Structure 1
């Protein structure tokens, strides 16, 4: 019988990222339970910590179809955590912003998620943590560049 560690060794980097993704999802689930919200609501609030975000960008960041995102924002708005505001540059569009209560919960949730992830990596030497952060940042930048190119009709990178 093949063990999980053998599968990771056989598949290497991609398998490790899959397992890491599951771990991050579990951290979001645990933090969400602590704050009596869903993991998707926690992800939304964590994104909004950086400021208001348009619905199209939220759809991309959360990998949700427009109707699913609308439902998510509706539920969080009913809880008084976010509000929709008109986009000053495009009257047809709106941006989602945190309310005072939403900001408090978003900051707490974000702090809890990042704190737990930092704790998980606590035994890694600083140099390894910095290399990992740098590699992940580069991967995310490549993904963002590919998404932007694809969205504007240019062929994706890769």
Structure 2
């Protein structure tokens, strides 16, 4: 059985490492991850948010420890909980977003990402979240579809370049 646990502030450096691996896998190059001070900022934000009491947590993070290397993570799933105005399908106005699902390359195809994501979805369900969105890579799409995700609408995005 895969043991998934909530992340703690001391996991922040490993979560940054996994996030960098995710970006490398998505872009196919390391160069894209070297832009700006994102690593230090990400680690600081993770430490701050993971230190909050459970009832204040708006960024749930679940991890699987690397069974071969103590202190390292094998996989993670991160989400955000966002209060919005209520809708007929979300009377509390709570929306979730899933992102940063990553498995260390040495531990892929073992069910770690699925286990982390299932616990994350259970966390959202326990809070009555009406809708959960994510952006899937081609490699992760089948996993997310098997967990009940499908097309909802066409999103438009605006992204600034720095």
Q: TM-score when scaled to structure 2?
A: 0.25
Larger radius of gyration: 1
Bigger helix fraction: 1
The structure with the largest strand share of the pair is: 2
**Normalising by structure 1, what TM-score?**
0.26
